[in-house]
Structure 1
């Protein structure tokens, strides 16, 4: 296999990976995917959750607004 064929296969594999995985599906189902991304990006950039308080609060408000706290509540068996 030539180098260009190998590169073409790698590129095709990356392009085919656009499907959302289980994690993405769960985040999108909360209705707070944008807020989640901003919160995670903040932590990635600053490496300290204390510096991301505003992003955390926006995510919490979104979470409550979409009633995810009730949906994800632990239930006794």
Structure 2
């Protein structure tokens, strides 16, 4: 395989990765994708959910505001 063929395959893989997958589509459909991203970024940086309480609460409020509990049949513990 030549270098240009290899580069072409890498570029194609990167381009394909730009398309939203099923997970992304589900997150976007909640109306809380920005809040979800902030929450997961916080955990990625701090590796401790206890340090992400503000982000978790913001996501929880967004989730309830968009009535996702009813849509997904989730219940508060």
Instruction: Tell me the TM-score normalized by structure 1.
Output: 0.89
Deviations 1:3-43 (A, max 9, x none): 12211221122112211111001000000000000000000
Displacement over 2 Å in runs of 4+? none
Could you tell me how far apart the structure 2 residues matched to 1:40 and 1:13 are?
A: 24
Q: Distance in 2 between matches of 1:40 and 1:17?
A: 19
**What is the count of residue pairs matched by the alignment?**
74
Unaligned 5+ segments in structure 2 are none
CA-based RMSD: 1.1
What CA distance in whole angstroms lies between the structure 1 residues aligned with 2:71 and 2:6? 46
Match of 1:49? Answer: 49
